[in-house]
Amino acid sequence: MDTLNVDLDSRSYPILIGPDLLRDPDVFRRHVDFRDILIVSNTTVAPLYLSALEESLRPRRVVATLLPDGESHKTLSTVARIEDVLIANRFARDCAVVALGGGVVGDMAGFAAAIYQRGVAFVQVPTTLLAQVDSAVGGKTGVNHPGGKNLIGAFHQPEAVIADTRTLATLSARELRAGLAEVIKYGLICDSVFFAWLEANVEALLAGDQAALARVIRRSCEIKAAIVGQDEREHGERALLNLGHTFGHAIESATGYGQWLHGEAVAAGMVMAARMSQESGLLGAEDLERIMRLTARMDLPVRVPGLTPEVVLEHMRIDKKVQAGRIRLVLLRGIGAAFVTAEYDEGCLRRALESHLG
Ligand code: NAD
Ligand code: GLY
């Protein structure tokens, strides 16, 4: 088992990574020290892993609630259902909410914990690659609104992240690839050596090789933990983690949540950000080519059919990163060298969209 730490003073917490952690009562004895627990999962994940988790949590009082599966259910009304269960079972302030599932379950369970009685503890047990490398770490919780992705939410750090790498064996190939998009992101923003390692290990990763996956989870969490430790509430450097996301969120909301997986939209969005960086004279053509090639080899989309630049721009304008009416974007000066800016040429943005839409 690998253990990392997110250093946030009194809100610091461990990230545990390893096979079969879900089935290890000791892990939960040490890291989930609560008597009353609400497990939040969904109808896909629960049949696979709920009973093992319940067993590991014995003899605590454990109640489970199962949400419908899918990004389209990541809404305030689903979170209200979690609150109903907490209230109906008379959970007090000293309870903990445990999220068992991917990023959708984790974001909603975390938000439900953030607002129940003004904040109760929560623990992330991520079961998708995307959640293990990204969404379970860092304390961003929330839901979508028809007007925009993740527009309603709160920062609420977990007590622990327990990433059982064995759960990835039941993940579909498409969901695994969506998680790899966020992994590519870490290489692009700050680690060109990791990016090159990914290029050399595409086949092992796509085949679900446990050692290769464990390595990418560890490296991704190291990078995310360091960035969150420096800038918990995204006043600066944390915004780098949004590379490709302003484009990606626009794709997701313009297509009504669900048609595109989050990771797929981020992959296409990162390619657009790279294209825009090249159009702006910041990124060499060779680097753009490497980024497009790795994305395509991971079987992730580099084109977005069916959307126009006008529609995507309209959705980009309601992104959380808009400041003083200006869309702030993460661009690249090279592989491993991302930066945030609101100073760019609108023509370069439009040309990047035109190159990858329609
Ligand atoms: P997801 O939660 O929808 O999970 C993907 C699918 O896999 C679902 O159908 C789920 O039921 C299923 N699944 C989960 N674990 C499984 C397993 N072990 N075996 C078989 N099936 C399994 O999607 P996701 O990609 O995990 O997360 C995407 C969400 O995360 C988006 O809503 C995105 O906005 C959010 N996100 C949040 C942050 C953050 O910092 N909070 C960061 C990145 C993404
Ligand atoms: N996924 C972006 C962040 O956690 O900041």
Give the pLDDT confidence score for residue 44 in this predicted structure.
Answer: 98
CATH architecture of 2-170: 3-Layer(aba) Sandwich (3.40)
Span 210-266, pLDDT tens digits:
999 999 999 999 999 999 999 999 999 999 999 999 999 999 989 988 899 999 999
Give the pLDDT confidence score for residue 317 in this predicted structure.
Answer: 87
The mean pLDDT values, 10 residues at a time, for the chain of 358 residues are 96 97 97 96 98 97 97 96 98 98 98 98 98 98 90 97 98 98 98 98 97 97 98 96 96 90 97 98 98 98 96 86 83 98 95 95
Query: What φ, ψ does residue 58 adopt, rounded to 5°?
Result: -60, 145
Helix, strand counts (H, E) of the chain? 14, 13
Q: Cα dist. 292→270, 303, 309 in Å?
A: 9, 10, 20
CATH architecture of 177-356: Up-down Bundle (1.20)
Give the pLDDT confidence score for residue 256 in this predicted structure.
Answer: 87
Give the pLDDT confidence score for residue 325 in this predicted structure.
Answer: 76
Task: Report how far ligand 1's centroid is from the alpha carbon of 181 (Å).
Answer: 13
| 260 neighbors 250 (Cβ within 8 angstroms) | no
Q: Cα dist. 21→53, 62, 103, 166 in Å?
A: 9, 18, 19, 8
One-letter amino acid of 91: F
Give the pLDDT confidence score for residue 318 in this predicted structure.
Answer: 79
CA dihedral 92→113→224→68, nearest 10 degrees, is 130
Q: Cα dist. 177→60, 186, 267 in Å?
A: 36, 15, 10
- Give the pTM: 0.96
Asked about 238 being catalytic, the answer comes back as: yes
Domain boundaries, the chain: 2-170, 177-356
Q: Where are the alpha helices (DSSP H) in 58-165?
A: 76-88, 103-115, 129-130
Q: Is 356 helix (H, G, I), strand (E, B) or coil?
A: helix
Task: Report how far ligand 2's centroid is from the alpha carbon of 182 (Å).
Answer: 10
Long-range (24+ apart) CB contacts under 8 A made by 211-215 are: 213/129, 213/165, 213/168, 214/2, 214/17, 214/18, 214/165
Nearest to 332 by CA among 266, 274, 285: 274
Ligand 2 test: best mutation among 182, 238, 240, 330, most atoms within 8 Å of CB?
238
Q: Please state, in angstroms and rounded to a whole number, the distance separating the CA atoms of residues 228 and 135.
A: 12
| 189 neighbors 241 (Cβ within 8 angstroms) | yes
Ligand 1 test: best mutation among 79, 128, 184, most atoms within 8 Å of CB?
128
